[in-house]
Amino acid sequence: MEKERHWKRGTLFLRINFDVNDLHAMDCSIICCNKSHDPIFLPNGVNVSLGRGPLTRITDKKCSRKQVQLKANYAKKEVKITQLGKNGSSVGGQTLNKGDSVYVGPGGTFYILGKNYQYFVHFSTSLSGKGNDTEPKAKRARYHDNLSDSDGDNLTPEDLEDIEREFGGEMVGKILKGNKHQDLCRNLCEGTWEDVEDKLLIFTSEGIMSRSKVAGFDLDGTLIATKSGKVFSPSITDWRILYPEIILTLKELWNGGFKLYIQKKQLSTAALKSKIENVVAQLKIPIQVFVAPGLNIYRKPVIGMWKHLVEQVDATFCSNRKHSFNVILEITKQTNDGVPVDLKQSFFVGDAAGRAENWAPGKRKDFSCSDRTFAANIGIDFFTPEEFFLKQNPAPFEWPKFIPNNLNHNAPLLNPPNAKPLSEIQEVIVLVGYPASGKTTFVRNHLAPQGYVHVSRDHLGTWQKCVSACQEALLFGKSVVIDNTSPTKEVRRRYIDCAKQAKIQIRCFLFDVSLEHALHNNKVREMTNKEASYKHVGYSAFVKYKSSYEEPACNEGFNEIVKVNFLPKFKDEKTKYLYMQFLY
């Protein structure tokens, strides 16, 4: 028997009793998971309509005769699935309505009707250039007849995966002949998905082990990049391993006793599950993948993912608005199978590192510093992909502008320090500051208990109603505090006029909180507030305040300008622990 191994573009070919030059074309087919009929061949670039009929042996009348349209792209190794029938198909848990399209790569699965009639996509190298599915079967049979039981002795896991793609699992089983280690390696792409209260998705590949050393990696921009060169992938097949060194380095880490995990902070579509599985299959090592679909404690740089990795937590959920946010209540026991994590030997690698424009020639500014701050929150070492995989020197970077640990908890509440929050005579106080800068808390703690009438658009709705409420309270001899952001002279003028008409003093309390500090406060509030009356504050409100802000001055008509320092007080240790982390 003449037998040779040939490598072409990273794919293994076995040559047995025929010339390797025959191996030059590609086939694509969809295979019925129930094995109720033969594979259906998909020519390159040709629209193929499938549905109820003899080809699929589907008789369900809910399934149209032209239920889906499939179009294979051999160059990209993907199949475009377009819904034609009125009753939806599904891909990766995503229901397709009429006219919807998704792309599925090698090994991806889809259902022709709802969650019935499942198929998976199979790309293989054809043994002839004719692009049919008959001659390859005959030649593949010759493979089956001539491969001996001993052929698996020197095959790598990569070889076995290529053989499985070419000839199916039955042939791999014959070659492996009970070799459990190789069988494990061959199935690394397999695993299970876990959904943690709709807040965290976890993929655990087979063979994962709990270890004291943990190596964490961001996914996009760290382990993979788009093949198209676009910033965001147009399809789930538009990805490639970022650097050739990555797979070997990850294998060395695994062999060196590290537990490996990947974090992805955003879930765009249910089809991402298929992408994750394909990435893990190409990495070829046991690995866990954590995906945070929304804004909650599992979203970097908050360390909810990490705590879930190493600890078991009890949690409560606030669901009084569009997005629910998770709050840790009590840590009950350690997980990781009882293996404590060694922070000194663990680390995280990511591309969101706070590097400026042109940190390397032609390189863009990092979109954030969240990967670096995530590692800092945990207390583990951090590396960029270039530092870790390519051994480049560290590039200059900047930490976020707001650093929670730099807060001065001993500062005076007011500046100047001799200023008093209360007045012995009737007055109006106008608060000025970003959303989430502490204005309402200040009113509740210092002014409302002393009889100041609390006027706020959050309660009244319009500035006209706020002015009317202010005038009415002044008529009854009450002092008033205006609890709005009041960024401009025009807005503040309304209440200055009220004070002049009542012939009383008016002071301005300016909350000395930066944009970054206010955003930090808001994020903590978003994740912990459980009040039914709470209203979500979006990023645009902070931008609008900053763009319209005019520094308050006494010549506007104020008797005094008082600055208020932010001195946080926490209802419990868990809130304090969350607040003192980097959140951006």
Q: Dump the DSSP string for 408-454.
A: -TTS-SEESTT--SS-SS-EEEEEE--TTSSHHHHIIIIIGGGT-EE
pLDDT digits (tens, 9 = 90+) for 81-124: 999 999 999 887 788 999 999 998 887 889 999 888 988 888 87
568 neighbors 579 (Cβ within 8 angstroms)? yes
Contacts 24+ apart (CB under 8 A), 144-150: 144/171, 146/1, 146/16, 146/17, 147/14, 147/16, 147/171, 147/174, 147/175, 149/174, 149/175, 149/177
**Averaged pLDDT for residues 264-285:** 74
Rg (CA), the chain: 31
Of 492, 489, 444, 440, whose CA–CA distance to 467 is shortest? 492
**Averaged pLDDT for residues 220-235:** 84
328 neighbors 574 (Cβ within 8 angstroms)? yes
Backbone angles phi and psi of 14, in degrees to 5: -105, 130
480 neighbors 471 (Cβ within 8 angstroms)? no
Task: Say yes or no to pLDDT of 258 above 80.
Answer: yes
Task: Quote the tokens at residue 461.
Answer: 């709705």
Q: Return d(Cα 403, Cα 319) in angstroms, integer.
A: 29
Q: Return d(Cα 105, Cα 108) in angstroms, integer.
A: 5
Edge-to-edge strand ranges of the sheet holding 427-432: 414-415, 560-564, 505-511, 427-432, 480-482, 453-455
Q: Return d(Cα 106, Cα 79) in angstroms, integer.
A: 8
The 3-state DSSP class for residue 249 equals helix
303 neighbors 263 (Cβ within 8 angstroms)? no
pLDDT of residue 152: 41
Is the model more confident about 95 or about 471? 471
Q: Fill in the amino acid letter for 238.
A: D
**Averaged pLDDT for residues 448-464:** 94
Between the alpha carbon of residue 242 and those of residues 67, 196, 289, 519, the distances in Å are 38, 29, 17, 33
pLDDT of residue 269: 53
Q: Return d(Cα 160, Cα 14) in angstroms, integer.
A: 11
Confidence of residue 337 (pLDDT cuts 50, 70, 90): low
Q: Return d(Cα 127, Cα 13) in angstroms, integer.
A: 10
The 3-state DSSP class for residue 247 equals helix
Task: Say yes or no to pLDDT of 243 above 70.
Answer: yes
Task: Say yes or no to pLDDT of 34 above 90.
Answer: no
Task: Say yes or no to pLDDT of 527 above 60.
Answer: yes
Q: Fill in the amino acid letter for 46.
A: V
Could you give the angle at the alpha carbon of 522 between the alpha carbons of 366 and 316, nearest 5°? 105
pLDDT of residue 4: 35
Task: Say yes or no to pLDDT of 17 above 80.
Answer: no
Stretch among 75-89, 264-278, 307-321, 333-347 having the lowest mean pLDDT: 307-321
pLDDT of residue 7: 29
**Averaged pLDDT for residues 309-323:** 39
The rounded mean pLDDT for the chain is 80
**Averaged pLDDT for residues 424-434:** 96
pLDDT of residue 186: 42
Distance of CA 118 to the CA centre of its chain: 28
Is the model more confident about 532 or about 344? 344
Task: Say yes or no to pLDDT of 36 above 80.
Answer: no
Give the contacts of 112 (CB within 8 A, at least 6 positions apart).
50, 51, 56, 58, 63, 67, 68, 89, 119
Confidence of residue 255 (pLDDT cuts 50, 70, 90): confident
Q: Return d(Cα 292, Cα 290) in angstroms, integer.
A: 7
Task: Say yes or no to pLDDT of 407 above 80.
Answer: yes
Task: Quote the tokens at residue 352.
Answer: 């969101």
Task: Quote the tokens at residue 536.
Answer: 């979500």
Give the contacts of 289 (CB within 8 A, at least 6 positions apart).
202, 203, 219, 261, 262, 263, 264, 276, 279, 280
Is the model more confident about 415 or about 23? 415
8-state DSSP, 344? G
Per DSSP, helices labelled H in 256-316 are 272-283, 304-310
Say what percent of the chain tops pLDDT 90: 46
pLDDT of residue 449: 95
**Averaged pLDDT for residues 365-372:** 94
Is the model more confident about 566 or about 159? 566
Distance of CA 170 to the CA centre of its chain: 37
Confidence of residue 338 (pLDDT cuts 50, 70, 90): low
Task: Quote the tokens at residue 467.
Answer: 């002015």
Confidence of residue 579 (pLDDT cuts 50, 70, 90): very high
Say what percent of the chain tops pLDDT 70: 78
pTM exceeds cut of 0.75: no
pLDDT of residue 37: 82
The 3-state DSSP class for residue 202 equals strand
Q: Fill in the amino acid letter for 87.
A: N
Task: Say yes or no to pLDDT of 182 above 70.
Answer: no
pLDDT of residue 563: 97
Is the model more confident about 315 or about 244? 244
Is the model more confident about 316 or about 457? 457
Task: Say yes or no to pLDDT of 329 above 90.
Answer: no
Is the model more confident about 56 or about 311? 56
Is the model more confident about 414 or about 168? 414
Task: Say yes or no to pLDDT of 349 above 80.
Answer: yes
Is the model more confident about 522 or about 313? 522
Is the model more confident about 322 or about 447? 447
Q: Fill in the amino acid letter for 135.
A: E
Torsion sign across C-alpha atoms 424, 428, 430, 436: positive
Task: Say yes or no to pLDDT of 375 above 80.
Answer: yes
Stretch among 185-199, 265-279, 307-321 having the lowest mean pLDDT: 307-321
Confidence of residue 318 (pLDDT cuts 50, 70, 90): very low
Task: Say yes or no to pLDDT of 271 above 60.
Answer: yes
Per DSSP, helices labelled H in 200-271 are 245-255
Confidence of residue 584 (pLDDT cuts 50, 70, 90): confident
Q: Return d(Cα 310, Cα 115) in angstroms, integer.
A: 35
Query: For the CA atoms of 520, 526, 528, 533, what is the dihedral angle to 10 degrees?
Result: 130
Task: Say yes or no to pLDDT of 294 above 90.
Answer: no
Q: Return d(Cα 345, Cα 7) in angstroms, integer.
A: 38
Stretch among 8-12, 161-165, 379-383, 409-413 having the lowest mean pLDDT: 8-12
